Structure 1
Amino acid sequence: MKEPLFFAAAVARPLSTEWELVYIWSQARPEGKVIIICLFLFSIMAWSVMISKALQMRRARKLNQYFLSAFRSQKRLLELFDRRVEAEGCPLFVVYQAGCAELDARLRGADGETRRRHVSLKGMEHVKRVLENAVAQEALKLESGLILLAIAVSGAPFLGLLGTVWGVMSTFAGVAQQGTATLTAMAPGVAAALITTVAGLLVAIPSMFGYNWLLHHLRVLTVELDNFAQELASKMETEFLAED
């Protein structure tokens, strides 16, 4: 006799939970519903940023590996540049392309026809600055969008707390006006007020983990860009810098 009752209670539990959320939503005040809707939109924004940035960084890592293999296997530094190879979405290739374009312009000079064998020290300094600028631009591209996650992490809990405080304040004000401080009169309003804090945490917690994960991989990619720029500049000096 006990087993059917136990299974019946287990089956009925999800239905009661679903009804509980619907009931709390129906008891929420208009300002609480507005805050929950805003938090829902924050959640969609945060998840879209996390997914898109994760795919972008994954693609960048794979393309960087393929490009480094091709770059280190070439015999001449400008071999890939002369072949007009394209690698869209590869940060290292963008840095290589920018540096080689500037180096090629310095080697060809004003006539732009024949390429000289060497470049002056002043010209090489200009090439290095172009490499540094390309590294900075690629780092900014990889970092774009992370500010939205930072806003979700820091702002969502406070927005939820605002809804909770506002809802509790309205509940106690209504109880004071009615003159009856019973649990039945207070519980629906307090529960509806607390749901905004829960919604804020549900937005902030995944955003926090996603932001830290993306920030770690961003730092790794930035270090790879810096190291590659230094390696490229060193090879350019070895192959093309004129000896005094």
Structure 2
Amino acid sequence: MRVIRFARKQTIRFLEAFRQDRQPLRLYERNARFTGAPIFNVYRAGCEELAFHLLGSAEVDETFRARLGIAEKISPAQMNAVRAAMERAVGETALELESQMILLATAVSGAPFLGLLGTVWGVMDTFTDVAVAGSPNLTTMAPGVSGALITTVTALCVAIPAMFGYNFLVTSIRGMIVQMDNFAAELASEFEHKYVEHNSRVADLVR
């Protein structure tokens, strides 16, 4: 849960910093870091691919801004490669986020079955004790029934909080994935306006 909250805070910080500057590559040029922000992975992947096509290298050095200022615009086909890089980053980051749900998903699905197993086992023990005693009575049956119910309650105490936590994670991660998709589209639009050559003659040559 803390990882999700931290990711949200870092995402807000990143978006504020990104939108303060009209130059979409500025944070990349400054080698800014927003550790824990899923959306930053998309930004960095897009910037690296764009820098490679614009400048021939994704490396950032003291000449980066000067080289960027005189770089020729890229073709629509190269821009498609930039989009593909951002889409891969969205997919990889989504997988990393979803990996956090494995433990909770296991607890939600497995705990009730363990409780059921304990209940059945306790009932079997109860019948065994009754068979040994020869006649059913409260003293004979109480220990087995009590043990069965304790197992059931324990399983529910694990499953119920895990279910709430799992639902929280699923909703939060889905929201982050949508946010990454939306940001990738926003960043692609920024790149399109500033760095892509839309001259029809160039487009014809690319075809």
TM over 0.5: same fold? yes
Cα separation, 2, equivalents of 1:236 and 1:66 = 21
Q: How many residues align?
A: 190
Pairwise CA distance, 1:163: 0.9
1:241 aligns with 2:168: no
Partner of 2:72: 117
Return the match for 1:89 from 36, 49, 55: 36
**Higher Rg:** 1
1:142 aligns with 2:89: no
- 1:159 counterpart (98, 108, 114): 114
Distance 1:62 1:190 in 2: 49
Structure 2 unaligned blocks of 5 or more: 200-207
Deviation at 1:75, TM superposition (A): 2.5
Q: Secondary structure at the match of 1:175?
A: helix
**Amino acid in the other structure paired with 1:158:** F
Give the Å deviation of 1:80.
1.1
Within a 5 Å distance, the mapping from 1:24-63 to structure 2 comes to: 54-63=1-10
Structure 1 gaps of 5+ residues are 1-53
How large is the Cα RMSD of the aligned pairs?
Answer: 1.5
Equivalent pairs: percent with the same residue? 51
Residues 1:226 and 2:173 are matched in the alignment: no
Letter paired with 1:206: P
| 1:183 pairs with 2:183 | no
Deviation at 1:109, TM superposition (A): 3.0
TM value normalised by structure 2:
0.87
SS in structure 2 at match of 1:145? helix
What whole-Å deviation, never above 9, does each CA across 1:8-62 have from its counterpart, x for those lacking one?
A: xxxxxxxxxxxxxxxxxxxxxxxxxxxxxxxxxxxxxxxxxxxxxx111111111
| Cα deviation code 1:50-96 (max 9, x no counterpart) | xxxx1111111111111111111112121111111111111121111
* Secondary structure of residue in 2 paired with 1:144: helix
Q: Which residue of 1 aligns with 2:83?
A: 128
Q: What is the TM-score when the length of structure 1 is the normalising length?
A: 0.74
Structure having greater relative contact order (Cα 8 Å, sep ≥ 6): 1
Aligned to 2:17: 70
Q: Distance in 1 between matches of 2:187 and 2:106?
A: 37
